[in-house]
Amino acid sequence: WGGKRHVSPLLDLVNADSQGDAHETKLEDSEDVNQKLAVTRASRRVGKGEQVFENYAQPNYLLFAYHGFLLEDNANDCALLDGLFIRRNDPGAKSAHLLRSRTPTFCIRDLASIEELAHFLRIKHGLSAENSSGSNLDDDVRPLLIEVLEGRVARLMEATSNGVNKETFALPRVHFMKQMVKNDLMHFQHALKTHVLVQN
């Protein structure tokens, strides 16, 4: 609140899931005029004796990085795609100001995320802003998308094929990372098959 981090110890006791609306914690006035209360209201009906869950509305890579867990069926999950940037000698370097960042990250999960990636690649490679249909996806940018996404798929496939001994795999962090790699692989393969490799 107010641009500062706060500790809400009891809120950390609530388990997470991805059902219902995202949680929202607000500061509200208390009876003591010198104090505020941190209030989080349930985003769905909770019956007597039923466990209360909180929806962080975050993909698994953020849940793991900031909270140390993953959600099995996370409706907000995506594959983090980062490491792309515009160099000074790229054909579109002079148009980099049209982007929100010269080193963006993408949360690959749906057509909108592929359109964002395509927009970045168009600018990076000096292609026209978009085609006559108003979409960033066309035959000019499609090979660039395929190269980026297939490159990620290949890296993830390699990561999954590397053997891990039973003792190491039993470590919770290794198990979580294997699950994230599996999920990311699924998201990248789905994006390729559903949005990039299909011809309109």
pLDDT in tens, 188-200: 999 999 999 885 5
Mean pLDDT, the chain, whole residue set = 84
Comparing 131 with 35, the larger pLDDT belongs to 35
Q: Which residues contact 117 (CB under 8 A, 6 or more apart)?
A: 81, 106, 108, 145, 148
Cβ atoms 60, 183 nearer than 8 A = yes
Rounded to an integer, what distance in angstroms lies between the CA atom of residue 14 and that of residue 154?
38
Give the pLDDT confidence of 63-113 residue by residue, as tens digits. 988 888 889 889 999 999 999 999 999 999 998 888 888 889 999 999 999
pLDDT digits (tens, 9 = 90+) for 3-53: 677 777 777 778 888 887 887 777 888 887 778 887 888 878 889 999 888
